[in-house]
Chain A
Amino acid sequence: MSALLEIDNLSIGFRAYGQYRRVLHDVSLTVGEGERVSLIGQSGSGKTVTMRTIIGTLPMPPGVVEAGTIRYDGRSLLDLNKIERNKLKGTGISIVLQDPMLSFNPVLTIGRQMDDIVRYADSRLGQSRSTARRRAHIVDTLAKVQLSEGARILDSYPIMLSGGMRQRVLIGMALLNKPRLLIADEPGTALDVTTQDEILALLNMLVAEEGLSLLLITHNLGVVREMADRVYVMDKGRIVEKGTRDAIFTAPQHDYTKRLMAAVPPLYGPDVVTIENHHTDPNPAIRIAGVSKDFVGRSGMFHQQRTLHRAVDKVSFDVMPGDIFGLAGESGSGKTTLAKMTLGLINPSEGNIRIDGQDIAQIAGTADFRKLIQIVYQNPGSSLNPRRTITDQIAVPLKFTGHETARIKTRVGELLEMVDLPADMANMYPHELSGGQKQRVAIARALSVNPRILVLDEPTSALDVLVQSTVIDLLHRLRDEFDLTYLFISHDLSLMRNFCNRVGVMLRGQIVEEGPVADVFGNPTHAYTKALLSAIPVTTDEAEAQKPIVSKEERAAVLNPSTAIGG
């Protein structure tokens, strides 16, 4: 097999702030004709720098190519002049970017943006086509990405399309000029798991039918298993392991690859951890009874119409003391709204919530309530104030629950130790800490007043998988040590399987299925739960075989198809 893309001993550095740092060390990588190759790495591993060097968008300076070559179809990309290089854009190598919203210009129609791409590629190649012929070509291309209403899509603005459709259009854009190599940077990562699944299937189909080569850049091992013939594992700017997909997944050699594999929470199989609750207290820690929440939306610029949008619809469930209750659902399912109501931040439109037997309407806002329930947010970059020291931040709940100033300092020391952070971090600012360390600070802050219940709003979704596993271990340990009850909100069902003892699955504001994890995952009854579980990319063939089977009709009934224009 001849190599279409061949990277040889590429070393790249950055010169910034008077310092020089090498970020890629002797990277070698090949993609053969018609081959699917994956490059796996965590954030900061250098995979994006590699990608940007290939497509020629790495800013130089500060970037410096120290050594190495990149050859595409036998031609050295780094030696080509600008004009020759531009001719390859879209026609030789094309790219699908991660975020389908950020990749579009919001004020231009999809048709205009796609037409520009065709027109500029034509002019680079010295040919020209009529507007009507270009439009026909675009509609044909959209049909390839399973968007049948091509004409309507072309007249739409990006905001009118769903996330899945935008991702499809983006793939269509990449295919417009018939490239031979498609580079996909974390495709579908920004989307819900069921939509991501459709996008991955589409990419696989395109590779098979159009004879494309695919270089997939991702951090998700499950995605790699579905999408790659060969795999490269990257860590700290080095390729630490390469091999066929089966070799990497069944017998990883390098220590880093092994750790990465071990850190991925398994959905099925012998490694699944099942958490139990040994408490026997019959009084629920959280009782949610018939809770609904309506939001008022306004539409129209002059004649405002009030429309009610029901975010949470008659939800009832109990969280018992000692439970780790997982609330699963995709974006827009109402899980975060429910969490905010549980914290008393917004009031339910109907129904009531009791925390530890007391009606939340009565106790929200009191110091006693704050000692009962606290929250850890999704993104510690946002939930920690960038301009305050770690001590200052952890001390806030203490200060406002009547702790003496003298005791606060010792308490902050205790809390840092509790979350395994060194004491000298107390006077640092958040930007001096890594993502995982920041999330530990956020956990310490939530625990500072000894609450009995913690709401965990996707506490690990902003973290790399290796870091995630350490934070999850910490949360399990703290629960045992301090007798905590967790309400855990997430879209990551594999993680839930190993972290929670009970789960509730939310769809459009309603809980469609609820029960102990082993039952819900082992024997899902609702079509939506089945669809969710079957869409999760897993890392072993055994797990793949154990996924529930969901028929096309069942799927269509519960999911908004990503191929039609809608909401």
Chain B
Amino acid sequence: MSAPDMIDATRSLTSRQMALYRFTRNPAALIGAVIVISVIIAAIFAPLLAPFPESAGSFVDFRNRHAAPSWEHLMGTDNVGRDVFSRVLYGFRVSLGLVVGVLGVAVPFGVILGLVAGYFGGWTETIIMRFTDIMLALPPLAMALAITAVLSPNLVNAMIAITLLWWTWHTRLIFRIVKAQMNEDYVEAAQVAGASHFHILFRELLPNCISAIAVKISLDAGFVILFGASLSFLGLGIQPPTPDLGTMVATGSEYMPEMWWQAVMPGLAILYAILGFNLLGDGLRDMLDVEL
């Protein structure tokens, strides 16, 4: 009721400036952004940053195996003498590759289905949304295990398994937003102006979903990393010697608790990356003022 009066106080700022202000006043979001950027840099420049780049492969140095963390090996070495810190940096690469691969396919697919279902309604909506409901009813880990077990476990198949399950959340989110947008007159205005369905879907409706998609992707990234790591931990994801964080935790756990760093350090790395994406996602949500 007092909205006009309240807005008046800030009228000299653009909404972009206000959003940026909200973001910079949110320490958690800033920390999240710094963590995510550091993970991305680590992944891209792993060969340059890693003190022992050869550790990423099937390198063996038995004289140095099970070395505790030291200045030379910040996170110690593993059971064949590879530098855990170097492998963690490469591990970020694999994790981010998984995120890009999964979300790169699942998000566009899910978003388009959500747009179409929300815009056309009727039978189109019923078919798409009920199918989405069925996919959502399948227990994700069990499904992923089944798929990777059938297709032979490797990075690509893990990606396919996660992608097959992931798009549903985006379909639901976008469907709900589009349904709400359909009450706005601008959709009808575009129809009166003779706009094509393609135009209304991608030029009118999609821009109104972008903030929500951005927030969802950021929150998703953490979960995809976790999901991928879980699969690898169970031996159904990425296979050695590829340096995957989940596989490293699984292998390292055999030497717990004496040589704790082999499992704990990659575990902390997973925690670090997920925390970063989640904090960033929450910050974006406050900044862009969207509800998920």
- Apart from A14-B9, A370-B193, A445-B193, what 20 extra A-B contacts exist at CB < 8 Å? A16-B9, A17-B10, A17-B17, A21-B8, A23-B8, A44-B5, A46-B5, A97-B1, A99-B1, A343-B192, A370-B194, A375-B192, A378-B185, A383-B184, A383-B189, A385-B204, A387-B207, A387-B208, A388-B207, A396-B199
Min Cβ gap A448→B in Å is 8
Min Cβ gap B12→A in Å is 7
Cβ of A499 under 8 Å from chain B: no
Could you list which residues of chain A lie within 8 angstroms of chain B, going by C-beta atoms?
Answer: 13-14, 16-19, 21, 23, 43-44, 46, 48-49, 52, 58, 62, 97-99, 185, 343, 345, 365, 367, 370, 374-375, 377-379, 382-388, 392, 396-397, 399-401, 431-432, 442, 445
Whether B9 and A382, one on each chain, are in contact in the complex, defined by CB atoms closer than 8 angstroms, is no
Min Cβ gap A176→B in Å is 21
Cβ of B139 under 8 Å from chain A: no
Cα(A503)–Cα(B189), bound, Å = 25
Q: How many A-B residue pairs have CB under 8 A?
A: 104
Q: Nearest chain-B residue to A343 (Cβ)?
A: B192
Cα(A379)–Cα(B185), bound, Å = 8
Cβ of B203 under 8 Å from chain A: yes
Could you list which residues of chain B lie within 8 angstroms of chain A, going by C-beta atoms?
Answer: 1-2, 4-10, 12-15, 17-18, 21-22, 184-186, 188-196, 199, 203-204, 207-208, 210
Cα(A382)–Cα(B184), bound, Å = 5
Whether A377 and B189, one on each chain, are in contact in the complex, defined by CB atoms closer than 8 angstroms, is yes
Cα(A382)–Cα(B183), bound, Å = 9
Q: Nearest chain-B residue to A435 (Cβ)?
A: B4
Whether B14 and A17, one on each chain, are in contact in the complex, defined by CB atoms closer than 8 angstroms, is no
| B residues less than 8 Å from A98 (CB atoms) | 1
Whether A382 and B10, one on each chain, are in contact in the complex, defined by CB atoms closer than 8 angstroms, is no
Whether B193 and A383, one on each chain, are in contact in the complex, defined by CB atoms closer than 8 angstroms, is no
Cα(A377)–Cα(B196), bound, Å = 20
Q: From A48, A378, A396, give the contact of B5 (CB < 8 A).
A: A48
Cα(A2)–Cα(B279), bound, Å = 58
Cα(A52)–Cα(B1), bound, Å = 10
Cα(A32)–Cα(B27), bound, Å = 51
Cα(A452)–Cα(B17), bound, Å = 42
Q: Nearest chain-B residue to A51 (Cβ)?
A: B2
Cα(A396)–Cα(B185), bound, Å = 14
| B residues less than 8 Å from A396 (CB atoms) | 190, 193, 195, 199
Whether A385 and B208, one on each chain, are in contact in the complex, defined by CB atoms closer than 8 angstroms, is yes
Given A62-B9, A377-B189, A401-B194, verify A48-B2 contact (CB < 8 Å): yes
Cα(A367)–Cα(B185), bound, Å = 20
Cα(A18)–Cα(B192), bound, Å = 43
Whether B203 and A388, one on each chain, are in contact in the complex, defined by CB atoms closer than 8 angstroms, is yes
Whether B204 and A388, one on each chain, are in contact in the complex, defined by CB atoms closer than 8 angstroms, is yes
Q: Nearest chain-B residue to A366 (Cβ)?
A: B194
Whether A44 and B193, one on each chain, are in contact in the complex, defined by CB atoms closer than 8 angstroms, is no
Whether A19 and B13, one on each chain, are in contact in the complex, defined by CB atoms closer than 8 angstroms, is yes
Min Cβ gap B44→A in Å is 31
| A residues less than 8 Å from B15 (CB atoms) | 431
